[in-house]
Structure 1
Amino acid sequence: MNNPKKEKPSALHVRPGVKANHDGLTAEKLRRGGGVPRRAPLSAQDYINGVLAGDRVKLARAITLVESGAAAHQALAQEVLTALLPRRRPSRRVGITGVPGAGKSTFIEALGTMLTGRGHKVAVLAVDPSSSLTGGSILGDKTRMEKLAADPNAFIRPSPSGGTLGGVARKTRETMVLFEAAGYDVILVETVGVGQSEVLVRSMVDFFLLVLISGAGDELQGIKKGVIEIADAILINKADGKGQKPAEIARAEFDRVLHYLRPATEG
């Protein structure tokens, strides 16, 4: 009598008689939601208590709720924000904009790490541009702040711009309210990196920093766009090594021009 041929083990092998999806879940389990983790819905009070307690998971979920376009979510988000608005704690809001590649994320990580080392709680809202075709966003800024992301006194939230002009996300103001209610006393808002006319963030922050690099085109061209006129400070980044000399030249040019501009804020 012939022995049945033993099948070789294979990662692609599916046992006969079991209808399964490509991920190994049976059709019945998929129908019932088996194998797909689902978070329990939170009530408005759950969100409120979690944010006030500084619960990072609840804070992240509250921001997701606020950013949602679903009508039911918007009503719940409004209830949460209304309750948290009078319970915000004082904070310093800093907007950081600049041309792409100027090193904003690297600078924010260094600044944030320094601030947490001095006892501050730092929240970062990193706004990424959304695709005009798909509406999607890479949200990769957090990957460039690995050290700060691991800091227990820091919270980094990448957020898509959603097509909103001004270098910010649709719900930037609301997100900052949640940060303040959660006890973060320094809020850093990194814009999409336009460095030109999209400066709506200026009206949302206490201090507005423009990050530039020398040799990236006509440094003075930005004056025509208005962003330099409303900046509280200008940082010439990447000024070490071979970039030191060009950075010094760029700084001298800005010193001459800024002499004729009215300060964005008094003092």
Structure 2
Amino acid sequence: MSIRKSKSSALNEKEGISLPEITNSHAIDQIKKSRKKQPPTKELIDGILKGNTTALSRAITLIESTNPLHQEKANQIINACLPHANKSIRIGITGVPGVGKSTFIEVFGKHLTDLGKKVAVLAVDPSSTISHGSILGDKTRMEELVKHKNAFIRPSASGENLGGVARKTRESITLCEACGFDVILIETVGVGQSETAVHSMVDFFLLLKIAGAGDELQGIKRGIMEMVDAVMINKADGDNVKKANLAKVEFNRALHLFPKKKSGWIPTTATCSALTKEGIDTIWQTISNYFELVNANHYFEEKRKEQNLFWMIETIDQQLKTHFYNQPKITELLESTKKEVQNNTISPFAAAQIVLDNYFKNYD
């Protein structure tokens, strides 16, 4: 029995294969030239302030870049946009994978645009820990919302940042606000500690849950439940309506067990279906009620100030960490101590102290 050899992947192009006749070489050259062309910083700033989403996208790309030259331009853009920011409603949306976050956000976003709102969606896509790649498929899933003139969707790879959100997302919010967007929706990766990171940069925190996927009490985790401002039981349609209503009762009971929030707000629970669009208007009414309360008791301004201080400290921590790992002497010492730790000739804590002492000695 002969074994048929498999063909090589079409993704791997062999050297020497000529381009098909339908390819327009002139068009290719034009695309390459346009990609290399970096618009001046002032041009990007002016574009953002005029509501140009192309300029906004390019500026966010600079924010996400690790190139020092790009970071310098990004900081100039952010500083120029700051006086025009802080005028939006920031909503964090979290939930486990499969809960229907992307579908919910598209339907919710369309509901807001129908009300005349300008909506920006910052969706964090999980990165592979092996290949470090990311699908960035949120624009594809939100195919209706992405076409709307008053909507902007920006998927970003989580990278190695805890929870998939960090300083880059925080700064992207500033640019979106300067671009004139009224509502900023931030979709989390939905795993790990992403909820903590998102909670530190939004005004309202929404948790999406589904019923019928197991014991509802498993979803009542103290950490996440203490942060949420509302719980929505999604996929409350068809045969799942009864289960969704039961889950709503369970979560509502649980929410009343937690300490009173500083904002004075009492978290709510409700059911919805992104498929049938039932209950979508309810969540916006809930959010509106929340902002009416926190604006009246001045908690809104207080929380924004606390968040600004939090991100100042976070930025300092990140810069110190970057400086530490970018020192050649430290990198060399780390490699040698790693081997000693692996061979059990020195404890991890003693090794860490040796490296830190060396760092402080040279950069005191």
Q: Under TM normalisation by the shorter chain, which class is it?
A: 0.7 to 0.9
Q: Where does 1:146-157 land on structure 2 (aligned, <5 Å)?
A: 146-157=143-154
**Alignment check: 8 A CA contact 2:85 2:177 kept:** yes
Following superposition, the deviation at residue 81 of structure 1 comes to 0.7
Q: 1:91 aligns with which of 74, 88, 93?
A: 88
Following superposition, the deviation at residue 21 of structure 1 comes to 5.4
**Alignment check: 8 A CA contact 1:161 1:170 kept:** no
Following superposition, the deviation at residue 102 of structure 1 comes to 0.6
**Alignment check: 8 A CA contact 2:56 2:179 kept:** yes
CA deviations over 1:83-134 (Å, ceiling 9, x no partner):
1111225100000000111111111111111111111100000111111112
**Alignment check: 8 A CA contact 2:94 2:101 kept:** yes
**Alignment check: 8 A CA contact 1:89 1:183 kept:** no
Structure 1 residue identity aligned to 2:19: D
Q: Where does 1:7-86 land on structure 2 (aligned, <5 Å)?
A: 22-23=18-19, 34=29, 37-39=32-34, 40-86=37-83
Q: Which has the higher helix share?
A: 2
**Alignment check: 8 A CA contact 1:195 1:227 kept:** no
1:208 is aligned to 205
Following superposition, the deviation at residue 225 of structure 1 comes to 5.5
1-side partners of 2:208 and 2:51: how far apart?
31
**Alignment check: 8 A CA contact 2:120 2:184 kept:** yes
Structure 2 residue identity aligned to 1:87: H
2-side partners of 1:223 and 1:263: how far apart?
17
Matched position secondary structure for 2:66: coil
1-side partners of 2:147 and 2:190: how far apart?
24
**Alignment check: 8 A CA contact 2:117 2:183 kept:** yes
Does 1:165 find its partner at 2:156? Answer: no
Following superposition, the deviation at residue 263 of structure 1 comes to 4.4
**CA distance 1:103–1:195, change in 2 (3 Å):** farther
Unaligned runs of 5+ in 2: 1-14, 266-364
Structure 1 residue identity aligned to 2:264: E
Q: Where does 1:107-146 land on structure 2 (aligned, <5 Å)?
A: 107-146=104-143
2-side partners of 1:109 and 1:249: how far apart?
26
Q: Which range is displaced more, 97-106 or 167-176?
A: 167-176
Matched position secondary structure for 1:101: coil
**Alignment check: 8 A CA contact 1:94 1:189 kept:** yes
**Alignment check: 8 A CA contact 1:166 1:197 kept:** yes
CA deviations over 1:160-211 (Å, ceiling 9, x no partner):
1112113425511010000000000100000012276642100100000000
**CA distance 1:251–1:195, change in 2 (3 Å):** farther
User: What value does the CA root-mean-square deviation take over the aligned residues?
Assistant: 2.3
1:10 is aligned to none
**CA distance 1:153–1:109, change in 2 (3 Å):** same
**CA distance 1:79–1:35, change in 2 (3 Å):** closer
CA deviations over 1:27-60 (Å, ceiling 9, x no partner):
xx9xxx9465232211110110011011111111
**Alignment check: 8 A CA contact 1:96 1:191 kept:** yes
**Alignment check: 8 A CA contact 1:164 1:170 kept:** no
**CA distance 1:115–1:214, change in 2 (3 Å):** same
**Alignment check: 8 A CA contact 1:208 1:233 kept:** yes
Q: How many residues are paired up?
A: 244
Does 1:187 find its partner at 2:191? Answer: no
**CA distance 1:48–1:197, change in 2 (3 Å):** closer
1-side partners of 2:233 and 2:110: how far apart?
20
**Alignment check: 8 A CA contact 1:109 1:148 kept:** yes
CA deviations over 1:120-167 (Å, ceiling 9, x no partner):
100000111111112111011111111110000000001111121134
**Alignment check: 8 A CA contact 2:120 2:185 kept:** yes
1-side partners of 2:47 and 2:31: how far apart?
25
Q: TM-score, normalised by structure 2?
A: 0.63
1-side partners of 2:216 and 2:193: how far apart?
11
**CA distance 1:66–1:100, change in 2 (3 Å):** same
Matched position secondary structure for 2:162: coil
Q: 1:229 aligns with which of 215, 219, 226?
A: 226
2-side partners of 1:102 and 1:108: how far apart?
11
Unaligned runs of 5+ in 1: 1-18
| Larger RCO of the pair (alpha carbons < 8 Å, separation 6+) | 1
Q: 2:246 aligns with which of 243, 246, 249?
A: 249
**CA distance 1:234–1:71, change in 2 (3 Å):** same
Indicate the percent of aligned positions where both proteins have the same amino acid: 56
